[in-house]
């Protein structure tokens, strides 16, 4: 049996406006409901004023931007004292806008994308989710965990 993105996609996905504060994204991710497969969503689809998909924000991107940027230049964070700075880092990341830390490199697939093409793309590009777009409109999200559940549930 051939499966396609439309067969596996979740049509109940969370979005957030690109100009929203990151603190709102944190709360939405923290309070996300479990999908029918039992997995909790850890990302939001970022949209603009016309509700077009412009990026994604996830726990990973929030935690990445929580860290001071100088750690991106080869400095070993294990040698630093984090006791005092942590509260400031948390405050700073919460005050940013979603568009400042989102991943703007949105990869999408059409609803008729075959399952194995989706799996191949996810593995090669190390993706946990792919947006499903039909006629320039976001219609769903295919999550790697949902594919795994669908294929291997008994």
pLDDT, tens digit, 9 for 90 and up, residues 31-90:
988 887 788 888 999 999 988 899 999 999 999 888 877 777 776 766 666 666 778 888
Q: How far apart are CA 76 and CA 71, in angstroms?
A: 7
Tokens representing residue 39 in the block:
């997995």
Domain with 124 in it: what CATH number? 3.10.580.10
Number of domains in the chain: 1
Q: Which of 30, 32, 60, 74 is nearest to 126 (CA)?
A: 60
pTM of the complete model beyond 0.85: no
Domain extent at residue 51: 5-152
């Amino acid at each position: 049996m051939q499966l396609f993105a439309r067969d596996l996609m979740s049509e109940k996905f969370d979005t957030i406006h690109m100009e929203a504060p990151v603190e709102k994204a944190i709360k939405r991710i923290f309070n996300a409901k479990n999908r029918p497969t039992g997995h909790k969503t850890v990302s939001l689809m970022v949209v603009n004023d016309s509700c077009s998909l412009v990026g994604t924000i996830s726990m990973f991107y929030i935690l990445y931007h929580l860290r001071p940027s100088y750690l991106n230049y080869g400095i070993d964070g294990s040698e630093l004292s984090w006791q005092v700075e942590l509260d400031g880092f948390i405050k700073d990341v919460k005050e940013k806008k979603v568009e400042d830390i989102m991943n703007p490199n949105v990869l999408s697939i059409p609803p008729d994308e075959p399952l194995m093409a989706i799996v191949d793309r996810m593995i090669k590009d190390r993706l946990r989710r792919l947006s499903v777009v039909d006629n320039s409109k976001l219609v769903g999200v295919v999550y790697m965990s949902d594919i795994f559940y669908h294929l291997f549930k008994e």
